[in-house]
Every structure is written in structure tokens, then in C-alpha cells.
Amino acid sequence: MNPTPPPAPQAEGWLFVAAAKGLQSYVLRSDPLKEMVGASELIESLHRTTQGGFLSNVISHLGFAQSYQLISDASGAVRIRFSDHQDALRLARLWPVLAGQFAPGLEISITVVEIGSQGIGAAIQTAERELHVNRNRPSADIPGAGPWVARNRRTGLPAARLVQALEEEERTSKTKDAVDSESARKREAASLTSLLQKVVPPEHHELLPRNANGRERRARWPLDLTQLATSDNSYVAIIHADANGLGAAMAACVHDLPNRRDPLKLYQALCRAIEESSVNAARTAMKEVIDATLESEEKPRPGGKNVVQPIPVRPIVCAGEDFTCVIRASRDKTHLKMIKFSIFCLNN
């Protein structure tokens, strides 16, 4: 008589991980500042599970059978621990389609890993390794449109919508632009302010668009590169700051997670620390520029009227350890020096 085999060990849950690929290229492949701002807003709200986040709305409508635990939802990535395998698989199958509709053109990597007897630390390590492999796999593009389809004159992609033209001279004549779905979605999202609320210091939140009237909003936070520049022959700069060697350091930490007493708590603290340090550095840098702008407004001007000065910097990415912004490159580079100095001091 053959002995009854022992029951197979039950999984302790399932780890769902989704991360956006190529954040910088997604934002910067658009020429108009309005589309850059819109792209950053889409990235900021895509994986957020808090109120107002797109993933939060998706989860609330799916009605999962069992409970789930949020591990992290930093910009561009989310990690969720599911009790039920079918819940994890359902979200993994639907998320690429839903994310593609919310942020067209943004590539997403997804993996679902079983949390076995080795614990959550080993599952996180496996998930990060699979994500690294998935990031190097090119995504399949939808076949190109036929020769008779109108195209976006800026990107060359098939047009999906007619929207108001960006150029001032065309706006007065009510000309419409034929734009692709990615550009149209970015322009729609440009009115959101979640990234500004994140990186503008709390003491300057009264300057945010939601707290200002329409005219002051357009003057204070321009969506046109020509408003950031001082003249037709002036320049704007793109500043990108990140932590050197953080990827290798993160890989080493993840590799060591299975050996830690409380790997989940440690991993959550690590993700939170990276996010908070980047936000604090960005706020310090933004404060320098905003303070300088407000000081210039207080100086006496001919006629005794104070003119609202545009904030000469527009953040476009603040995710993980990355911070990217578009800033006015004045001749003395005052703003450029201030923002670079603040970021580098805090990161080092």
C-alpha cells in the first residue's frame, strides 16, 4: 500500500508588480511643454492607489474576492500582495489594456510571483528580477494606419482626434490640430496638478493652480516654452538629477531581503525613504526658484503696478530617485545654479 503523499504547501499569497518603462522618453518625446506636463501627470496618477489615482478606481470596480495588501505605489510602479491567485491574475490581464487607455504610448511591465515558503523577501527578489528581464523586451506596436489617414504633424503618428491648436496665431483663427491618441491624452492631463502639489513646498501651496484664478494660473504656471523664455533668442534648459549607483544598491538590498527578519517592513521603508528624499530635494530646489521669483515681483516697477511673474521652472518627472525639470536658462544662470545646488546638496 502506497503511503499518502503529503499535501502540497499552500502559497502564502501572490505578489503583483507593475512598473512603467521609459518614463523620461515618454515625457520628453513630446515637443510642447503642455504635453510634457500632461505626460508627467499621467505617470504620477497611473499607479496611485490613493484617492484620485487611476489604479484606485480600477481596484474599486473589480471587487476582489479576498483581501489584498498594498506594499508600495511610488510613481510609475506598484506592488500589491494578494491572498487570492485569481484576483492577482485578473488585474495582471486587465492592467495593460486599462493603462494603455489611460496613458497611451506608455509601456508597462507586469509580473505575478507566488509567495511560497521562503517568504515575501524571496518573492520580491524574484519579481524584481523578472521585471528587469521584461524591461528589455520590446513591446509590440499596433500596425500602422493606412496612407489615407491624417497624421499628427509633430509626431507622424496616425491622428485620433481634432483638438485646439497650440500656436497662438492659430488659436485666434480657431484652427484644429489633428493629433494622435498619446498627444491628445497628454494635453487633456496638462490641467492636473498632482505633480506640482507634490514638489512645491507647502508654504507656497497658495500659488498652486487650484488656489489661483484663471488669469493668474496661466501667468504663474505657463504651459508654453515661450512663456518660460525671456525673449525669442533666449534658451531653456532641461535638468535631470538622479542618484548614482542606486540601481546596484537596490539590487543588493533586494538580494539580501530573504535573510532579514521582517523583509516586507524593510522593503516598504526603503521605498518610502527613496520617495521622500527625492520629494524633499525637489521641494528645496523649487523653493529657491519660487522665493527668487516672488522677490522680483516686490521690486518697484514703472507705473507702480506689480506684474505676476511666471515661475521659471516646470517639474516634469519626480519618480523614485529621478527629478527632471524644464527651467529658464538666464544669462547669469541664477535659477540654474540654485536648483542644481539644492538637488546635489541633498542627494550627496
Determine, yes or no, domain membership for 141. Answer: no
**Of 149-163, 258-272, 320-334, which range is least confident?**
320-334
pLDDT of residue 6 exceeding 90: no
Within a domain: 143? no
Each residue's pLDDT tens digit, 45-57:
888 877 678 988 8
Asked whether the predicted pLDDT for residue 260 surpasses 80, the reply is no
| Confidence category of residue 318, pLDDT binned at 50, 70, 90 | confident
pLDDT band at 299 (very low <50, low <70, confident <90, very high): low
Instruction: Note whether 41 and 132 are same-domain residues.
Output: yes
Q: How far from 46 is each of 49, 54, 99, 233, CA to CA, in Å? A: 9, 5, 7, 37
Residues 122 and 261 placed together within one structural domain of the fold = no
Same domain? 210 vs 97: no
Give the residue-averaged pLDDT of 100-121: 88
**Percent of all residues in the chain with a pLDDT value above 90, rounded to a whole number:** 18
Range of the domain at 257: 193-296+307-348
Is there a single domain that holds both residue 101 and residue 227? no
Task: Reply yes or no on whether the pLDDT at 3 is more than 80.
Answer: no
Q: What is the pLDDT of residue 322?
A: 84
What average pLDDT score do residues 178-185 get?
90
User: Are 340 and 218 part of one and the same domain?
Assistant: yes
Q: Tell me whether residue 62 is in a domain.
A: yes
Instruction: Tell me the three cell numbers of residue 157.
Output: 503618428
Residue 18: pLDDT band with limits 50, 70, 90 = very high
Instruction: Judge if 313 and 336 occupy the same domain.
Output: yes
Q: Which position has the higher pLDDT, 3 or 230?
A: 230
Sign, CA torsion 62/188/107/249: negative
Mean pLDDT to the nearest integer, 180-202: 90
- Same domain flag for 315 and 245: yes
Q: Which helix (H) or strand (E) holds 320?
A: none
Q: Which residue has the cell 506636463?
A: 37
Selection from 199, 202, 240, 180 nearest residue 44 by Cα: 199
Contact 297, 307 (CB under 8 A): yes
Same domain, 127 and 239: no
Closest C-alpha among 201, 228, 194 to residue 50? 194
In a domain? residue 283: yes
Q: Are 76 and 27 in contact (CB under 8 A)?
A: no
Q: How confident is the model over 216-230, as pLDDT tens digits?
A: 666 788 888 887 877
Same domain, 111 and 71: yes
The answer to whether the CB of 35 falls within 8 A of the CB of 183 is yes
Q: Which residue has the higher pLDDT, 145 or 168?
A: 145
- 2 domain residue, yes or no: no
Number of structural domains (the chain) is 3
Cα-atom radius of gyration of the chain, to the nearest Å? 23
The pLDDT of 265-284, averaged and rounded, is: 86
- Does residue 36 contact residue 133 with C-beta atoms inside 8 Å? no
